[in-house]
Amino acid sequence: MIPLSVLDLSVVTTGTKPAAALRNSIDLARHVDGLGYLRYWLAEHHNLASVASPAPDVMIGQIAAVTKHIRVGSGGVMLPNHAPLVVAERFKMLEALFPGRIDLGLGRAPGTDGATAYALRSRLDRREGDDFLERLHELILWETREFPAGHPYNNVVAMPDDTRLPPIWLLGSGDYSSELAAQVGMGFAFAHHFATHDAIDAMVHYRNRFQPSAWRASPHAILAVAVIAADTDEEAERLASSFDLNRLRRDRGQYLPLPSVEEAIAYPYTDAERTSILRNRSRLFVGGPATVQKKLQPLIYASKPDELMVITAVYDHEARKKSYSLLAEAFGLVKQAE
């Protein structure tokens, strides 16, 4: 069976304030650590009422400290928001504290709106246009120490200097990151849960173009998918109603906390809204364990991921934990000893 991992946004609901959402992330991480999940990644978003975590590096340290087996990483750090030296220092520290358990996933989007992105970057060295590639190159140089002769950064060391950067993964929802990850020989994670680009194309492109490097000898592709599982198809559909309404609002630019099932069911949908919900369901896998597995198999077969990274956003925290438990059983994960 394919390995499973977790992508967590620390989702805020109308009944769960941001601080509680962060604590729920820690509780979920403990839960899936025992179920045999491979990774637990935290996202970076800013100024969104629906997402509680703007600082994945902080959450990584907290979660790694209370788990034993699972790898913990960023899904991802939005590199244009940060000085590469700061990213290098923080993730070398995490790797030093939790050796062999940290991942550094990098994204090129701001993870927020334009005004917030400006506030995040206004005191950085602002560069014109898309500077992700430049920042990635600089981040790598902090590890390789291959700055040109006479460069002032030759006198700067990213501490702790006896610890390597953890494995780097490039995140994407289009073809840019798949091409770049293949060229530089890094891991690749594709965001099927919100991408409009074809996941199969991106995954196959990455694998076919991959060039071995000092980072990786062979390609490793992660497919991130949105899943809601429950004991029955009917219960899963009920839980998914919150997602449907939330996504409908997001499409209108309303990034609100996740509504309750009761609010979602009572919402007076128009025919156009129901059509939009059906369209958005192409990115969401809903049902009992056997149904979800059956729905996922064609995508797994065609895109050939090395692992699935599952994001489950439901209103009730215990229902979210149960969804991951049901998936672990359906995909044959091996429970970890306490």
- pLDDT above 70 for 124: no
Closest listed residue to residue 27, CA positions, set 54, 60, 67, 58 = 67
Asked if 132 and 93 count as a contact pair (C-beta separation under 8 A), the reply is no
Question: What is the pLDDT averaged over residues 169-188?
Answer: 95
Percentage with pLDDT > 90 across the chain: 86
Question: What is the pLDDT averaged over residues 98-125?
Answer: 83
**DSSP secondary structure string for all residues of 288-308:** SHHHHHHHHHHHHHHH--SEE
Question: What is the pLDDT averaged over residues 188-212?
Answer: 94
- pLDDT above 90 for 60: yes
Instruction: Check residue 337 and give its pLDDT.
Output: 74
How sure is the predictor about 1, in pLDDT bands with cuts at 50, 70 and 90? confident
Write out the two tokens for 311: 């994001």
Dihedral of alpha carbons 276, 278, 283, 284, sign: positive
Question: What is the pLDDT averaged over residues 204-224?
Answer: 97
Say which residue, 111 or 88, is predicted with more confidence.
88
d(CA 214, CA 107): 21
Closest listed residue to residue 187, CA positions, set 48, 284, 332, 75 = 75
Question: What is the pLDDT averaged over residues 34-55?
Answer: 95
Question: What is the pLDDT averaged over residues 189-201?
Answer: 92
Q: Across all residues in the chain, what is the average pLDDT? A: 94
Closest listed residue to residue 181, CA positions, set 201, 210, 146, 144 = 210
Instruction: Check residue 128 and give its pLDDT.
Output: 63
- pLDDT above 70 for 123: no
Q: Which residues pair with 226 in a beta bridge?
A: 284, 311
Q: Give φ, ψ of 48 to 5 degrees.
A: -120, 120
Question: What is the pLDDT averaged over residues 161-174?
Answer: 95
pTM of the predicted protein model: 0.95
Percentage with pLDDT > 70 across the chain: 97
Question: What is the pLDDT averaged over residues 153-158?
Answer: 94
Say which residue, 195 or 182, is predicted with more confidence.
182
- Residues for the chain: how many in total? 338
Instruction: Check residue 126 and give its pLDDT.
Output: 61
Reading phi first (left if > 0) and then psi (alpha if -120 to 50, else beta), residue 191 is in beta
Instruction: Check residue 153 and give its pLDDT.
Output: 94
Instruction: Check residue 62 and give its pLDDT.
Output: 98
- pLDDT above 70 for 238: yes
Give Cβ neighbours of residue 75 (< 8 Å, ≥ 6 apart): 7, 41, 42, 43, 56, 105, 171, 189, 224, 309
- pLDDT above 80 for 121: no
Instruction: Check residue 234 and give its pLDDT.
Output: 98
Closest listed residue to residue 232, CA positions, set 283, 284, 289 = 289
Q: Which residues pair with 308 in a beta bridge?
A: 4, 223
- Using CA atoms of 299, 50, 63, 286 in order, give the dihedral in degrees to the nearest 10: -30
CB burial of 210-244 (b: ≥16 within 10 Å; e: otherwise) equals beeeebbeebbbbbbbbbbbbeeeebbebbbbbbb
The pLDDT tens digits of the residues spanning 257-298 come to: 999 999 999 999 999 999 999 999 999 999 999 999 999 999
Q: Which residues pair with 102 in a beta bridge?
A: 72
- pLDDT above 80 for 107: yes
